[in-house]
A and B are shown apart, each in its own frame.
Chain A
Amino acid sequence: MESTEVYSRLNDLFRNVFDNDEMVITPELTASDVDGWDSLRHVRLMLTIERAFGIKFSAYEVNKLRNVGQLAKLIQDKVGVQA
């Protein structure tokens, strides 16, 4: 899957989870930049991404993530492997 496609689908999922139609994600974006990105929202986001892409994250992988860029890369790796 192309990086742009991952970002485009990921952006839709962020908008859905954060209930914000204007939200635009960038690789540098982190949880502290976004209102309401608390631990509960984070879990819901991860579960939503898992379902949408048909992939699974381990707790170790989730804990290592520092920004959206790393998240997108992780998705791309998993989708690529599982495709």
Chain B
Amino acid sequence: MNSGFDVAGTRLYQSLSWLPRPPADFVARCRALEADPAPGSGLQALAVYALDENDLHRLSALITGARHAGKSLSPLVPFRLGILSNATTDFIVPALIASAARHGIALECFTSAYGQVAQAALLPDSEINREQLDAVLIAVDYRGYLLASTIGDADAAKANLEVALAQLQTIRSAISVTNRTTCIVQNLAPPAETLFGSLDEVVPGTPRAFIHELNRGIALSVAGSQDVLFDVAGLAATVGLAEWHSPDQWNLAKLAFSSTYLPLYGDHVARIIAALRGKSRRCLITDLDNTLWGGVIGDDGLEAIQLAQGDATGEAYLGLQRYLLELRQRGVVLAVSSKNNDEIARLPFRKHPEMLLREEHFAIFQANWSDKVSNIQAIADELGLPLDAMVLLDDNPAERGLVRELLPRVAVPELPEDPAFYTRVLSAAGYFEAVIFSREDLKRADYYQDNAHRVTLQKQFADIEGYLASLKMVITFQPFDEMGRPRITQLINKSNQFNLTTKRYTEPEVAAAAADPDCFTLQVRLADVFGDNGMISVVICRKRSSDLWEIDTWLMSCRVIGRRVEDTVLQEIVNHAKRTGICKLIGRYIPTERNQLVAQHYEKLGFQPLEAVADGTTVWELDVHTTRIKGSPAIVRRSGFALTEVANA
């Protein structure tokens, strides 16, 4: 699954891999927006994809065109940004404008002439100082600080540093006095080239040593001022200096950094602008199974979930838990949304010795079998936070797709297969960018705390059907065969939650059922636009009389709950039953500690109650000729059945 997702090395940062890939009709959707009288929401919807330089250019032209045509860009919030740079700004401006739309900002940029940083800042009638700006980005790189060589001379190096900081301070003061505005001050990415080698860090006045000192000075001068820092040095270090700086592109067109990183740079500036406008996200909602731990707590149990020191997979999940705890400490509110039984879902938080996260770290804890859209809406309502303050972390691509489709204001990062990269991806996405950190932030998460309480869902989300259709599900039915036998046996012995009878069978018993003419068996596979989910359901029906099947085993993977796959499975059973002269199906629900989820399974599918036994077992029947069951919107494929005409039964 998720084959297009690449987080190796710098790829994560080059391609903004946490964002979904642009759709095939991206250009067509851009064209369609040209005619839209109020394109604001449409522009933001197109900006949330992982756009490359040319996509950003196209989107930026659309935004600028709409503004010139006098159209409203609402709900995007206007922001006027001045840019002072010693490099060419022609390439960064489109990247900034389009990336800002991703963060809900309608950005307008005003630039100084090439290389005219000081003039633009200091002359009262420069364009930068004439416009009413909301902020000015000071994007001067190491080539913009031309200072006399001071190699080996500590005093001269110190004097140089003071001159450089004073120059920068003069520019900042001029802007704040004439413009009454905030400066976003870039620090300096050191060049990749060294003079001595390692000794550059030791000898005063080398470019490396000078830039480190200068960056420290900039950070100290920003703290407590009205200006904010843009840590370009940190960004360049993250991807690597040799990746960041491109000497040929500097020579060719005075690009301050490699154009490969224009999308990354644009997104980072946009985050800071969004943070200045109070639009940073504030709450992280996390899934549980295969997100906070490896495996499925309801099926694998407390002992078998992967969450141990010394186990590489377990440590990956612990790494994410540690990061979430740190986020919480700095003021991000945590919540849970998981398809699970509440009691079972809370078990690892209460009983697992290696869990770092505990119930008291979560403001709200939603573990139920309703769709995530309703649950996320309920969490937002309860916390009194807007949906665009929310982030959902979920390993399941279909859940991610559903939330993106129906709640587009919630940020939902793509996640790689390997949980070792979860933390890096979440951090790279920069949802919680802040421009200030205060004592109150340390208490914020506590303020929202209410012992992981549960919210009752007011309403179920209605339009799930449309989303199901967009998944383009393909359900494949086969009788048991030798090839599928190991997986069938594994599912029969492992599934606990969506399992009507929890009967366990050995591999020879599974083989015997397949060979028994009085047994009808099904193995079910499911694929969708996100990939192949593999075998997701197993059914065994046993003939009890000439016209009656009892459903001996029916189980399903919890991963695909909420897609009405069970309806299609029943339809398939009914078709085969009719073909072989069966009139009635008997279903049995045998309760266990884990399978409460399916207590109403047969009732929901239209079975009639037949009997209730003292141990809680209920027995149900269905007349195959009168049932009106309608399958989920999926393409059905079959193979391996004796009579293929069952397709039309």
Q: Which residues of A contact B (CB under 8 A)?
A: 16-17, 19, 21, 39-40, 43-44, 46-48, 51, 56, 58-59, 62
Contact = CB atoms under 8 A, between A and B. Distances in A.
B180 to A, nearest CB: 33
A56 B248 contact: yes
A40 B54 contact: no
Given A19-B58, A21-B27, A44 B53 contact: yes
Nearest to B54: A16
B94 to A, nearest CB: 9
A44 B252 contact: no
B253 A43 contact: yes
Contacts of A40: 90-91, 253
Nearest to A40: B90
25 contacts: A16-B54, A19-B57, A19-B58, A19-B61, A21-B27, A40-B90, A40-B91, A40-B253, A43-B91, A43-B252, A43-B253, A44-B53, A44-B57, A44-B91, A44-B259, A46-B252, A47-B53, A47-B249, A47-B259, A48-B53, A56-B248, A58-B248, A59-B248, A59-B251, A59-B252
Interface of B: 27, 53-54, 57-58, 61, 90-91, 248-249, 251-253, 255, 259-260
Contacts of B260: 51
A58 to B, nearest CB: 7
Contact of A62 (B58, B61, B252): B252
A40 to B, nearest CB: 5
B93 to A, nearest CB: 11
Contacts of B27: 21
Given A43-B255, A44-B57, 14 more contacts: A16-B54, A19-B58, A39-B253, A40-B253, A43-B252, A44-B53, A44-B54, A44-B259, A47-B259, A48-B53, A48-B54, A51-B260, A59-B251, A59-B252
A80 to B, nearest CB: 21
B264 to A, nearest CB: 14
Contacts of A56: 248
Q: Which of A21, A39, A44 has the most CB of B within 10 A?
A: A44
A72 B227 CA distance: 49
Nearest to B260: A51
A58 B253 CA distance: 13
Contacts of A46: 252
Contacts of A62: 252
Nearest to B28: A21
A46 B253 CA distance: 11
B24 to A, nearest CB: 14
B83 to A, nearest CB: 16
Contacts of B53: 44, 47-48
A16 B59 CA distance: 12
B535 to A, nearest CB: 39
A74 B528 CA distance: 43
Q: Which 5 A-B pairs have the closest CB atoms?
A: A43-B253, A47-B259, A16-B54, A40-B90, A19-B58
B249 to A, nearest CB: 7
A68 B255 CA distance: 24
Contacts of B61: 19
Contacts of B248: 56, 58-59
A51 B55 CA distance: 14
Contacts of B252: 43, 46, 59, 62
A6 to B, nearest CB: 19
Contacts of A44: 53-54, 57, 91, 259
Contacts of B251: 59
B190 to A, nearest CB: 23
A69 B248 CA distance: 23
B562 to A, nearest CB: 39
Nearest to B254: A43
A58 B249 CA distance: 10
Q: Which of B54, B91, B249 has the most CB of A within 10 A?
A: B54
A58 B247 CA distance: 11
B90 A17 contact: no
Q: Which of B90, B248, B251, B255 has the most CB of A within 10 A?
A: B248
Nearest to A58: B248
B55 to A, nearest CB: 9
B595 to A, nearest CB: 53
Nearest to B90: A40
B239 to A, nearest CB: 15
A19 B255 CA distance: 22
Nearest to B30: A19
Nearest to A21: B27
Q: Which of A19, A40, A48 has the most CB of B within 10 A?
A: A19
B87 to A, nearest CB: 13
